Every structure is written in C-alpha cells, then in structure tokens.
C-alpha cells in the first residue's frame, strides 16, 4: 500500500482528557509527522502492536515524529481516567494519550478496528492508514518517506526487527479461534439455556462443547458487555471454552473495591506451570489474581493446539468480558528452515 495523496485533512484531536502531557493539536505541529495509534488497553492486538509504536516513538522523536495514543475504549469501565492512567503506566507508554471515550476521534477518522495506525504529514494531511496487526515494515517505510517529505535528508535508523516470528513478512500461521465475547450484546454463550438481558440464569454444564462458543456453569447474570457471577456464598461458577491457539487472554473485572481469584484448568487438569501465561502469579495453584479490570494473559502453550479451558470462581460480582487467542508460525514455513 502506497502513501495516499494529499486529499484528506486530518481532523483535530478533541478528546475527553489527556494523559502524559498537554493536548496535541495538529494545527500546532505544522512541519512535523504525526503518528496516531488507536488502541484499547484490553485489546490483545493493541498490546502486541504497541511494541512497535513505542520503538518508533523512541527512534524517530529526534527526527520530528510526534506520537499520540488515541484510547477508544471497547468496554465502559475503560472510560475511567484513573483506571486508564494505571494501564498506560503498566504499558510503559510515555507519549501523550487522549481519551476518546465518546468515539469522536474514532468516528472522525472512520476507524473500524483495534488497533489502527494513521500517519499525518507535515501539512496536516492524512497519508497512510493501517488496520490490525502486521504490516509493520510497510508502515515504518511510509513513516520514513513522510519524514523525508518533511525535509529531513540524513540517514534514518534501521527498520525495527520483527518482535515475533508471526510478524515476519509473508509468515504463514495457524488459524486460531476468533475473539469471543460475553454479555447479551455480542454473546457467544452456547448453553441450551440461552441468555436473558439483565437476568440471572442457572446454567448446567452441557458436557459437550462446540468451537467458537463459551459455556457457563452455575448462576450467571447477563450484563450488556459481560457475565457476572451471581452464585450464593460457598458456590462456584465456571466458564468453559474449547479453543485452537497458542496463547489465551481474557478480560476480567473484580467486584468493586475487591480483589478476586480465578482458578484455571486445561484439558481437565490444573494449568501446568510451563503453560501458564504471564499473569498467572500462583503457578503451582494455577490461579490468577484479579485486582483491576483489564486483559489477563492466562495461557501460553509451548505449541499451537486444541485445548479445553475452564475458569472457575466463587467471588461474588466477578465479571468475564471476552476471550482472545493468538496463533503461531506453522513450523514448515519457519524462516529457519
């Protein structure tokens, strides 16, 4: 994909609030290249892509690049500035971030997916847009071309090396399970009991699980964006997913002012330590501590495969929002062969 002609003026960045500095106005940065990164801190693809955005900001700031993170939340809890402030700090983001809670900037730029990266040239025109993961080398080359158009004539840094094998140009990867949402707006619940908006249903474990579905056991309340554990004290509820992937991430939220726990089983046994994701602190007990609403990295298998995952909790008010899955390179297509 080539740079777009100078036809579309980049809309101004009018957001709810700014973190990491003062507001960045496009009209005040004439002569400089601006990179906009539309993201959500609960989005797996955004987290993975941010490895590159942080590196570009570090490498090219001395050449006049201005990087702005546009945080457009997928879930309502992510509108809270205090929650986002912690998420930005945990993600080691140091460039300015604007809170786009009402999707004003998102709509102005006609964004339709997380993440989306945009390049604005020295004259304030939108010149390059890229959706989703991948294409990092292509994007950085476009960035360097715009820096050249802005007047820089010296040597530029080497292109950022791929962070993961699946980021390599032409990489052929396994097809992983797609993102699965809970909550009655986009429910992937596969139980025969179905769903009922703003209502609690006692679900039975079907014992048979289909792909691309989520199965509940126990008393769960169906909210707009999630399911909330509503069992009595001493009871426990579970969420079961049959998946194809290498890694599994889940968006969880504890009850207000509470810290909860979720037990993890895979293929009928407690999650093994060598399969535990980064956020599984208690590897021996295969448990994750849920201390704030965010994305939790719970499974990291050694190889791509098909597995049955079960999360169990007995913490009243625990909420489960969405599962996301990552793939890996098919060995026969590895560049090392």
How many other CB atoms are found less than 10 A from the CB of residue 295? 21
**Integer Cα distance of 19 and 98 in angstroms:** 6
pLDDT at 283 over 90: no
Evaluated on CA atoms 127, 75, 101, 23, the torsion sign reads negative
Q: Could you tell me what percent of the chain has a pLDDT over 70?
A: 97
> How is the chain split into domains, by residue range?
17-163, 180-332
pLDDT, one tens digit per residue, over 50-90 is 999 999 999 999 999 999 999 999 999 999 999 999 999 99
- Report yes or no: 232 and 310 within 8 Å, Cβ to Cβ: no
The mean per-residue pLDDT over the stretch 305-317 comes to 97
pLDDT at 154: 86
pLDDT at 195 over 90: yes
Q: What average pLDDT does the chain have? A: 95
CATH topology of domain 17-163: Glutaredoxin (3.40.30)
* DSSP codes, 4-22: PPTT-BPPP---SEEESSS
3-state secondary structure 148-166: HHCCCCCCCCCCCCCCCHH
Which residues 6+ apart lie within 8 Å of 136 measured at CB?
Answer: 49, 52, 160, 162, 167
331: nearest Cα among 173, 175, 168, 161: 173
H/E segment holding residue 68: strand 66-71
pLDDT at 81: 96
pLDDT, one tens digit per residue, over 138-191 is 999 999 999 999 988 889 999 999 999 999 988 999 999 999 999 999 999 999
pLDDT, one tens digit per residue, over 23-34 is 999 999 999 999
**Integer Cα distance of 324 and 178 in angstroms:** 7
CATH code of 180-332, in short, is 2.60.120.260
Q: Angle CA(233)–CA(239)–CA(243) in degrees, nearest 5?
A: 165
The mean per-residue pLDDT over the stretch 285-301 comes to 95
Q: Could you tell me what percent of the chain has a pLDDT over 90?
A: 93
pLDDT, one tens digit per residue, over 96-134 is 999 999 999 999 999 999 999 999 999 999 999 999 999
pLDDT at 337 over 50: no
């Amino acid at each position: 994909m080539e740079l777009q002609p100078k036809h579309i003026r980049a809309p101004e960045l009018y957001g709810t609030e700014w973190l990491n500095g003062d507001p960045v106005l496009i009209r005040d940065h004439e002569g400089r290249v601006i990179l906009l990164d539309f993201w959500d801190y609960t989005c797996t693809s955004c987290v993975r892509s941010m490895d590159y955005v942080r590196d570009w900001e570090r490498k090219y700031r001395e050449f006049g690049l201005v990087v702005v993170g546009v945080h457009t939340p997928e879930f309502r809890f992510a509108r809270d500035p205090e929650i986002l402030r912690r998420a930005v700090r945990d993600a080691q983001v140091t460039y300015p971030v604007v809170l786009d809670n009402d999707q004003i900037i998102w709509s102005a730029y006609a964004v339709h997916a997380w993440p989306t990266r945009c390049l604005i040239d020295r004259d304030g025109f939108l010149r390059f847009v890229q959706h989703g993961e991948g294409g990092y080398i292509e994007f950085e080359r476009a960035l360097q071309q715009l820096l050249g158009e802005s007047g820089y004539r010296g040597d530029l840094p080497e292109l950022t090396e791929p962070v993961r094998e699946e980021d390599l140009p032409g990489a052929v990867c396994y097809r992983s399970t797609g993102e699965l949402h809970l909550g009655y707006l986009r429910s992937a619940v596969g139980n025969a009991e179905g769903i009922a908006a703003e209502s609690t249903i006692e679900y039975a474990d079907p014992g048979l699980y289909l792909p691309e579905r989520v199965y509940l056991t126990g008393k769960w309340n169906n909210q707009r964006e999630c399911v909330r554990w509503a069992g009595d004290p001493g009871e426990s509820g579970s969420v079961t997913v049959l998946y194809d992937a290498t890694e599994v991430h889940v968006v969880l939220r504890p009850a207000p002012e509470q810290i909860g726990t979720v037990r993890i089983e895979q293929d009928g046994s407690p999650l093994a330590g060598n399969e535990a994701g980064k956020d599984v602190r208690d590897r021996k007990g295969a448990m994750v501590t849920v201390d704030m609403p965010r994305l939790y990295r719970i499974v990291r298998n050694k190889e791509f495969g098909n597995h049955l995952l079960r999360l169990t909790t007995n913490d009243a008010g625990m909420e489960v929002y969405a599962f996301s899955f990552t793939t890996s390179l098919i060995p026969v297509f590895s560049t090392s062969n």
